[in-house]
Amino acid sequence: MTETIYGGGCLCGWIRYEAIGPADNPHTCSCRQCQRHTGAPTTVWAAFPRDRVRWNGPGGAPATFRSSDITSRAFCPRCGSSIGAIDDAPTIELLIGGFDQPDQAALRPRAHSFVDRRPGWWHLDTGAVEPEADETT
Ligand SMILES: [Zn+2]
Ligand SMILES: [Zn+2]
């Protein structure tokens, strides 16, 4: 696997990160938690071991909100941008919309969670991959 470094951050630049690849389990999620966390009908996630993510912006680590028994949602305390989820696993899942270069083949979602929660008018290319049943983000 290629050791790609994914840079990214929030809208205002206060929260910045570098995540060392490979990006694990890139997938979409259309669950209600993700919808409310981001305001988007569907989110796209990539996971990294916690020790492979470095918070290197002026704000350090993002603010968090405890959203379930296993994870906290992360966001910028200045501009409110959704950053991802800091799991107890210990895993950090990042929303790839915040990546500097989200258009990379390695980030293409291969699984789709909670497809049935998306609005009916929202087109989601689920390909041949079956939706995942678990909600970990
Ligand atoms: Zn910000
Ligand atoms: Zn979700």
- Give the separation between CA 60 and CA 57, rounded to whole angstroms: 6
**Calpha distance 95→34 (Å, rounded):** 10
| Ligand having the closest approach to the CA of 62 | 1
Q: What is the pLDDT of residues 118-130, one digit of tens each?
A: 999 998 775 545 5
pLDDT at 132: 54
Give tens-digit pLDDT for 52-92: 999 999 999 999 999 999 999 999 999 999 999 999 989 99
> Topology of 5-16+25-117 in CATH?
2.170.150
Q: Which of 18-22, 64-68, 95-99, 131-135 has the lowest mean pLDDT?
A: 131-135
Q: How far is the CA of 60 from the centre of ligand 2 (A)?
A: 25
Instruction: Tell me the CA–centroid distance for residue 83 and ligand 2, in Å.
Output: 13
Residue 30 CA to ligand 2 centre (angstroms): 6
CA of 3 to the centre of ligand 1 (A): 27
**What is the spatial distance between Cα 34 and Cα 89, in angstroms, rounded to a whole number?**
18
For residue 3, name the pLDDT band (cuts at 50, 70, 90): confident
- Looking at all shown ligands, the one closest to residue 80's CA atom is 1
Task: Name the CA dihedral angle for 94, 48, 90, 36, rounded to a multiple of 10 degrees.
Answer: 20
Query: Which parts of the chain fold into alpha helices (H)?
Result: 32-38
In whole angstroms, what is the distance from residue 44 CA to residue 112 CA? Answer: 9
pLDDT at 2 over 80: no
**Among 50-54, 107-111, 119-123, 133-137, the least confident range:** 133-137
Question: How far does the centroid of ligand 1 lie from the alpha carbon of residue 86, in Å?
Answer: 17
pLDDT of residue 118: 92
Of the chain, the percentage scoring pLDDT greater than 70 comes to: 90
Nearest-ligand number for the alpha carbon of 42? 2
Q: What separation in Å is there between the alpha carbon of 48 and the centre of ligand 1?
A: 21
Contact between residue 50 and residue 62 where contact means Cβ atoms under 8 Å apart? no
Q: What's the whole-number mean pLDDT along residues 8-20? A: 98
